[in-house]
A = this chain, B = another copy of it.
Amino acid sequence: MTDARSPLALPFPVMPPIAGVTLRTVRAGYKDWGRCDLTYVELAAGTSVAGVFTRNLCCSSEVELGRANVAQGLARALVVNAGNSNAFTGYRGRAAVEAIMDQVAAHLDAPREQVFVSSTGVIGVPLPIDKARAGIAAAFTAPPATWEEAARTIGTTDTFAKGASATAVVGDTTVTLAAIIKGSGMIAPDMATMLGYVFTDADVAPAFLQRSLAAANARTFSCITVDSDTSTSDTVLAFATGQAGNARIVDEHSPGADAFAAALHAVCRDLAQAVVRDGEGAQKFLTIAVSGAVSDDSARRIGLAIANSPLVKTAIAGEDANWGRVVMAVGKAGEPADRDRLSIGFGGVWAARDGQPLADYDEAPVAAHLAGRDIAIAVDIGLGNGRATVWTCDLTHGYIAINADYRS
């Protein structure tokens, strides 16, 4: 956690405990700092697990092993290391992850495939296994931590702790979800990494949990971008302890399946937006709503092309309703679009319609909107019914300062 809090930061929400989930935080000392940097989460026997991982082909050993372990569907523990990402460290990095898995599995008398590990921080330096071992041993007997303490402990250059919770009625049982995430600050010479964890007391079969998480991911984490760069460690895991006592959700037809999926989607959306609000140098939070594309997927790609455009992001930083740059970004997305059917608006006011500036365009309300923190861009492609919403932040001097000036 760094000192300069994002101007877009949100307060940490009040979050309920989740039966079957115990959080503990300790200081392993991965860096020379006083803060806790190792989070250990113990999960009740029989906890279902699901996961989505970075598509970066140069992923970390944690991601490789996590992806493999999710397949067997059960989890007993999660370890998150902050301060060292263990990425790009070859066989030594993999050995460190396996040692952690073995240590926790022996302690819990559980299969090692049920132990999940994430690491975030400096790259190219193998995780110091002695520090990890000692930290984990201390964590086994550490007192329980709060959600906010855990959220702070998984963070690296985050400027605020991020969490979200929700409930859903499954049959006649109310189930609860609580989730934390870190990202997307940046510090030399680290890579920004997004690590998110959702915990619920619901009883959910692993296969349905995986499908629900993948569906939520497609409309939340896959719809955010800060700078178009994809970490080698990005991970979101969902754990369902089953302690709420609901009739198990096995598939889409189970009672309460829709309600559970909606709650999971809601916490993923809240976490995803919180990450954008902590984007490096972010001064404004952008919601880009694309409609009229040939499909939802096409709309999402167009939205991301706009959200990743440095020219659009700098225009918003400059509080400039530069719809021409939005047109450019739509056109470069490679998705079906027709210049003469495009409409573009800011804050509910259309600036251009059917490919031309509006004759009666009133810039005053748009200028007032752009002077705020939360900016809405609407783009109608005019071709079909495809829709998507993506979220990003502006591109500012702060981004350059964080990522280029740190050697000075």
A: residues with CB less than 8 A from B are 55-59, 87-90, 123-124, 186, 188-192, 227-232, 308-311, 314-315, 317-320, 322-325, 327-340, 342, 352, 354-357, 394-397, 399-401, 403-408
Contacts and interface: CB of A to CB of B under 8 A. Distances in A.
B58 A342 contact: yes
A339 B58 contact: yes
Nearest to A351: B124
A227 B319 contact: no
B90 A232 contact: no
A123 B57 CA distance: 39
Nearest to A340: B90
Determine chain A's interface SS by DSSP, over half rule.
loop
Contacts of A406: 318, 320
Given A322-B189, A328-B191, A339-B59, A355 B90 contact: yes
B191 A311 contact: yes
A258 B368 CA distance: 59
A232 B59 contact: no
The 10 closest A-B pairs by CB, nearest first: A58-B331, A314-B403, A56-B331, A318-B404, A314-B404, A317-B404, A123-B324, A230-B332, A58-B339, A227-B310
Contact of A403 (B58, B318, B332): B318
Contacts of A87: 324, 327
A404 to B, nearest CB: 4
Nearest to A333: B57
Contacts of A123: 324, 327
Given A90-B340, A123-B324, A339-B59, A310 B229 contact: yes
B88 A324 contact: yes
A371 B383 CA distance: 50
A227 B90 CA distance: 32
A357 B315 contact: no
Contacts of A339: 57-59, 88, 232
8 contacts: A58-B328, A87-B327, A88-B352, A90-B340, A229-B309, A229-B310, A229-B332, A314-B399
Nearest to A370: B407
Nearest to A339: B58
A356 B90 contact: yes
A191 to B, nearest CB: 6
Nearest to A317: B404
